[in-house]
Structure 1
């Protein structure tokens, strides 16, 4: 397994701990925030920050799919994967590399640059499990599922701000992400067709990762969540209605926990 410390980055990239991001009171206090709306005066700054987050997320998605190609031998044992799965992951790497290039250009289009915002590496760290089936759910259903929600949100933002460049690019990348998640959904069911216990274990792992990827309520169906769950596109990608409902509940749990932690941190500061 590759450590996050070994991910290739140059001097433009700065790291931030995910805990500092999630439990920052400025992030978790969302009352009256209004979500990620074009009419919000802070929306352009938020959009630039989110675009930078998309860029580094696409790098980590590329690394996750690439490691799946590299880490596992071809075969039928539990620690092996079908050759056709590797081909799908190789195709995904091609897509993610293109997404990185598009996101860099979109960042420039929106007025930001590589390194203006810090990178957290939770996406790679949480999704890349040593078990190939858990890796599949972590990368292709959790990480790429998050990408569906984020790209759809940015696509709608592009529409709301009359930015055809942003809208078109996000729409194009969104189509890729639906394909990536669908590949993960299909392969999960194929590999575990005769092993319901392993499938349950994989879905339980995905639930854990999805909770992390809700970033304390940053993603959810609450009006104040900047990123909204893209139900229609998740259905197209192989998510059942029950799985989407469970994801909504997971996001709500993540938001409640983050708000409680932020209140504790605020109280500790006031009492110190």
Structure 2
């Protein structure tokens, strides 16, 4: 990618996409140290979590929509999946914003990030983008949201937990269609697998510019940040299976997460 092209910027040796526009009320940051994550179950921490995920869903709208716009020659079925995803993510923004207001919050109350867009949309091919956004970031979000729903339910906030569970139902399909289309495209052109692998390597290198390196540092509100390995969410195996990850892939994801899985919910007779 030519750094002199309009729409890109550089961090170290990494070229990223210029971030999407945000309302003036939002302060955009891209480092955990600049965020306002409180790390507890206080009222303000709950609002910040919902606000953060609202902002992430806004970024997901941008990523899915720009793929439709920038890859007009992609297979029609894949373009339709991306268009539906943009619609789903927009609905998620609305329900999260509604819940935020119910808890006394407002948009712009906390810093937000567009980093996922900046990294994903710096990739110049569609297989690479859905490998990053859907198969990696959205799949990771399923793990995060699943854990958060359990936490909210444990403190008696079933309304927020139900909302998060509902969002995760949509996310399964967003990950699943990427898995299906990557396989389908690779069958007709094996080079697509090389593009996917290159995109994931790029994501790893780009993300390293912003990650916490050691842990123990404090963020903008004085909360101590955990080390990188402790920030890996527990793996939601059921949702990964529903999204059509293979058993070998799930085993590798579990290995990387230290074999931590979400505690299965109790089954009723």
TM-score range, shorter chain: 0.7 to 0.9
What's the counterpart of residue 46 of structure 2?
A: 47
TM-score, scaled to structure 2: 0.73
Q: How does 1:179-218 map to 2 (within 5 A)?
A: 179-206=173-200, 209=203, 212=207, 216=212
| Secondary structure at 2:187 match in 1 | coil
| Secondary structure at 1:192 match in 2 | helix
What's the counterpart of residue 176 of structure 1?
A: 170
Deviations 1:145-172 (A, max 9, x none): 1321222122112211222211221111
Deviations 1:128-156 (A, max 9, x none): 22111101111211221132122212211
Q: How does 1:23-38 map to 2 (within 5 A)?
A: none
Q: Aligned-pair distance for 1:246? A: 3.8
Task: Check if 1:107 corresponds to 2:100.
Answer: yes
Query: Residues 148 and 177 of structure 1 are in contact (CA less than 8 Å); yes or no, is this contact kept in structure 2?
Result: yes
What's the counterpart of residue 15 of structure 1?
A: 28
What's the counterpart of residue 72 of structure 1?
A: 71
Query: Residues 127 and 142 of structure 1 are in contact (CA less than 8 Å); yes or no, is this contact kept in structure 2?
Result: no
Kindly tell me: are residues 219 and 168 of structure 1, through their superposed partners in 2, closer, same or farther at Cα, counting changes over 3 Å? farther
CA distance, structure 1, for counterparts of residue 149 and residue 69 of structure 2:
33
Query: Residues 54 and 103 of structure 1 are in contact (CA less than 8 Å); yes or no, is this contact kept in structure 2?
Result: yes
| Secondary structure at 1:154 match in 2 | helix
Which of these residues, 245, 249, 256, is aligned with residue 243 of structure 1?
249
CA distance, structure 1, for counterparts of residue 164 and residue 254 of structure 2:
23
Kindly tell me: are residues 201 and 72 of structure 1, through their superposed partners in 2, closer, same or farther at Cα, counting changes over 3 Å? closer
Q: Aligned-pair distance for 1:117? A: 1.2
Which of these residues, 132, 137, 146, is aligned with residue 140 of structure 2?
146
What's the counterpart of residue 220 of structure 2?
A: none
CA distance, structure 1, for counterparts of residue 119 and residue 110 of structure 2:
21
Structure 2 gap ranges (5+): 1-5, 9-16, 216-224, 259-269
Deviations 1:218-271 (A, max 9, x none): 89996x54843322211211222333344456567xxxxxxxxxxxxxxxxxxx
Structure 1 gap ranges (5+): 28-32, 75-80, 253-272
What's the counterpart of residue 134 of structure 1?
A: 128
Kindly tell me: are residues 174 and 219 of structure 1, through their superposed partners in 2, closer, same or farther at Cα, counting changes over 3 Å? farther
Q: Aligned-pair distance for 1:43? A: 4.8
CA distance, structure 1, for counterparts of residue 109 and residue 129 of structure 2:
30
Kindly tell me: are residues 91 and 2 of structure 1, through their superposed partners in 2, closer, same or farther at Cα, counting changes over 3 Å? farther
Question: RMSD value over aligned CA atoms?
Answer: 3.3
Query: Residues 144 and 181 of structure 1 are in contact (CA less than 8 Å); yes or no, is this contact kept in structure 2?
Result: yes
TM-score, scaled to structure 1: 0.72
Matched residues, number: 231
